[in-house]
Copies of this chain bind each other. A is one copy, B any other.
């Protein structure tokens, strides 16, 4: 008997992946969590029936959340990751020697626990002494930490369930206030094929708060449409003004110094969404 995981990415379209083994299924306090071992993408974490990460393609998302902002800020010493309990973004942040401390705040401790157990290649750096892991509401955390962080990364689920408040203007204002004077934030902002309205709304809101707003993209095969957008809001520094020749070649598989600016060049229909 063959078992397949099928995710409806929209009402009318989805992906399907052959399963070797289901490792975890649990209704946590906040969401339905599953870890499935798939033939094509290896172990896969899903929340509320949506792929969060897979061992085969996780590097794209995690590198592209972390490095564009960290190589735009001249001295990113204090970093906050909101969400991201699987630890993938933290792993990338730890590749930056300038980072003195990274704080991870995920609302769902079960994501952290199961990721450490079943996705050690992703979650391994959560035990790095430069990392502090907090199980709490990210929205509350930023409102309790004014003028604290150099870079804030929002690694949320889609705006359903516990992540709804992470797509509000109040949250972006809170992030602005939690950032120091040269601060930068970045958020995953879904895909332009099925969620054009979301991207438009987020951009409008972020532009009302941050003087510099830029959008970039990456290809993630297991995410809806395969094309993912990220929105960066910055108080001062512009990622497009970075001298790429000064970016070191990290141990990455997607991001590179050459890609730093190119990732911000959007297909025309995406440009039109964020004008």
Contact = CB atoms under 8 A, between A and B. Distances in A.
A39 to B, nearest CB: 4
A191 to B, nearest CB: 8
Interface in A12-55: 12-18, 38-41
Interface size class of A (residues with CB under 8 A): 35 or more
A97 interface: no
Contacts of A268: 252-256, 259
B16 A6 contact: yes
A256 B13 CA distance: 28
A250 to B, nearest CB: 10
B254 A259 contact: no
A241 interface: no
A258 interface: yes
Contacts of A57: 193
Contacts of A262: 261-262, 265
A226 interface: yes
A245 interface: no
A15 B226 CA distance: 12
B271 A256 contact: yes
A212 interface: no
A10 interface: yes
Contact of A12 (B38, B225, B227, B255): B38
Nearest to A14: B16
A201 interface: no
Interface centre among A10, A14, A220, A255 (most CB of B within 10 A): A14
A248 interface: no
Interface centre among A12, A259, A271 (most CB of B within 10 A): A12
Contacts of A220: 226
Nearest to A254: B267
Given A259-B265, A262-B265, A14 B12 contact: no
Nearest to A56: B193
Contacts of A40: 10, 12-13
A136 interface: no
Contacts of A15: 13-16
Contact of A39 (B12, B227, B266): B12
Given A219-B219, A254-B268, 15 more contacts: A6-B16, A12-B17, A13-B16, A13-B17, A16-B16, A56-B193, A219-B267, A220-B226, A221-B226, A226-B227, A252-B268, A253-B269, A254-B269, A255-B268, A262-B262
9 contacts: A13-B17, A13-B18, A14-B15, A221-B226, A226-B226, A252-B268, A254-B269, A258-B265, A259-B267
